[in-house]
Amino acid sequence: MNYFPLFLNLHDQNCLVVGGGDVAARKIRLLAAAGGKMTVVAPALCEELAQAVLDGKLIHLAASFNESQLQNTRLVIAATNSEEVNRQVFEACEARGILVNAVDDPASCRFITPAIVDRSPLMIAISTSGGVPVLARNLRAQLEALIPHAYGDLAKMAADFRDEVKSKLLTVGTRKQFWEQTLAGPIPDMVFAGQYEAARQALRESLSADTDAPRQGAVYLVGCGPGNPDLLTFRALRLMQQADVVLYDNLVSAPILDMVRRDAERVYVGKKSNNHAVPQEEINKLLVRYAQKGQKVLRLKGGDPFIFGRGGEEIEELAEAGVAFEVVPGITSAAGASCYAGIPLTHRDYAQSVTFVTGHRRDGEVELDWPRLVSPTETVVVYMGVAQVGKICAQLIKHGRNPATPAAMVEKATLSKQRVVVGTLSDLAQKVVDLGIKPPALIIIGEVVCLHEKLKWLAD
Ligand code: SAH
């Protein structure tokens, strides 16, 4: 171990920063956030520091560094652009036993500063012992994405309950078990969703409840976007890494499924080889059953769960059964296809509104409110419309939309095999057949489609 890691209480401690530029300002910001009483030594200050002096947050000694400035100082940072001055500061501090760091100059450091993930009071510090700071920063970026923003609030709440837990649960073992169970249950998610009072109440209840009471399950209805894993939300990713059971169907791509926790049980509820999907009622029941067993159940949905996803039906049943649930939005495939095909769905010159409709048939017919879809300034996006594309285009023409209106089909949007076919209302259907386009694909209809040629950034 090259360095000993520690967290320093700097409240009301005198800290001195030598140097008045941007690097100094960055260090001063951090030290001040930790409660340090800040003094800066520099002949001149950058704008931010000059303002901090005016605001009374910073004392400025308009001078060059000299040892007399170190009196009563706990910690010093040398942030000048002169190695020689940094060395001088380092040696003066060493002689007095003061903690000292020279920015980017390990030879003049008694301590070094880590990359941090700040979820105060929870704090993660990462260091490569000064070797490869970029590596520490990369790791930090990964952790930032992985750790919910409100993790600190959870830590704070747990700390608030510490004494109460200690007085109720007398051994270290029972306390550990209590926290393990509590943190694996629904309470953290309540905190992450900003429901602080409900979380506190639930914590109070579980503290007074029988410790052998069954663990409570919950269902997370999670939209995972149009298929490209980069388009997942942080929330979706975190839940995928905590789930006990995952229910998924055809629209959830293999690379996304790969990101689910390895030992989670995977349940496929999509279309089987006989082309029959698991009936919706059965999926609803499965969700309830797993949650009632105390499992953390993830229901992964393509795109957004509330856009043609039957998400509403699934959670209705959960609500009736009294199962806790949460719904996580995803990028709907219309948004994914639009961006990845370079076809904006609205545009000041071409379309003032956009309507999402389904091409799914009921009793053999596509039933849409056709007269509402024929305005020349309206973009129409059709989900589940591959098989019916001919009928849909014909109906629009029949109800008055210009047959020359541009129309596109986007197959496997956002995935590496994405294909875009562009035509008009009169010839799109034939092109789709000629090219053998298959679901999942979306139809985009409207003048905006003409922008594709100019705005596409992927090959068709
Ligand atoms: N909830 C989903 C839609 C489910 S309906 C969402 O918000 O996107 C299923 C239809 O979505 C498919 O028939 C297809 O029209 C569309 N779809 C889903 N993923 C797609 C993709 N990657 N590319 C094109 N269309 C897609």
Would residue 271 show up in a list of annotated catalytic residues for this protein? yes
Structural domain that includes position 200: 151-208
Q: What are phi and psi of 139, to 5 degrees?
A: -65, -40
Domain containing 291 — which CATH number?
A: 3.40.1010.10
Distant-in-sequence contacts of 93-102, Cβ < 8 A, 24+ apart: 96/70, 98/70, 98/73, 98/74, 99/8, 99/74, 99/75, 100/75, 100/76, 101/76, 101/77, 102/77, 102/78
| Any domain includes 121 | no
Instruction: Read off the CATH number of the domain in which 60 is found.
Output: 3.40.50.720
* 403: amino acid identity, one letter: P
Q: Is the domain of 316 the same as that of 395?
A: no
User: From CA 194, how far away is CA 256, in angstroms rounded?
Assistant: 27
Which of 120-129, 395-404, 445-454 is the least confident region? 120-129
Gap from CA of 143 to ligand 1 centroid (Å): 31
Residue that finishes a domain, picked among 113, 137, 169: 113
Cβ atoms of 284 and 292 closer than 8 Å:
no
Q: Is the CB–ligand 1 distance for residue 441 below 6 Å?
A: yes
Ligand 1 within 6 A of CB of 382: no
- CB 20 less than 6 A from any atom of ligand 1: no
Enter the pTM of the model.
0.77
Q: Is 43 in contact with 62 (CB distance < 8 Å)?
A: yes
Catalytic residue, candidates 105, 249, 427, 460: 249
**CB of 410 closer than 6 angstroms to any ligand 1 atom:** yes
Q: How far, in Å, from the CA of 337 to the mean position of ligand 1?
A: 9
Q: How far apart are CA 415 and CA 432, in angstroms?
A: 19
Q: Which residues contact 125 (CB under 8 A, 6 or more apart)?
A: 5, 7, 114, 115, 116
Which one of the listed residues 271, 272, 285, 398 is annotated catalytic?
A: 271
CATH number, residue 188: 1.10.8
Residue ending a domain, among 286, 301, 328, is 328
Same domain, 289 and 244: yes
Confidence of residue 331 (pLDDT cuts 50, 70, 90): very high
Confidence of residue 364 (pLDDT cuts 50, 70, 90): confident
| Residue 440: cis peptide before it, omega within 30 degrees of 0 | yes
Q: Is 189 tagged catalytic?
A: no
Q: Which positions ≥6 away from 175 have C-beta within 8 Å?
A: 165, 166, 169
Using CA atoms, how far residue 219 sits from 48, 230, 285, in Å, is: 48, 23, 12
- The set of residues, in sequence order, having a beta carbon less than 8 Å from that of 7 and lying 6+ positions away, is 123, 125
Mean predicted confidence (pLDDT) in 70-81: 96
Residues 341 and 319 in one domain: no
Is residue 191 included in any domain, yes or no? Answer: yes
123 occurs within a structural domain:
no
**pLDDT for residue 210:** 61
Q: Could you give the number of structural domains in the chain?
A: 4
CATH of the domain at 400: 3.30.950.10
Residue 122 resides in a domain: no
Q: Does residue 399 fall inside a structural domain?
A: yes
pLDDT digits (tens, 9 = 90+) for 370-402: 999 999 999 999 999 999 999 999 999 999 999
Where is the domain boundary, 165, 182, 208? Answer: 208
- For residue 251, is it within any domain? yes
Note whether 190 and 98 are same-domain residues.
no
Structure tokens, 311: 């998400």
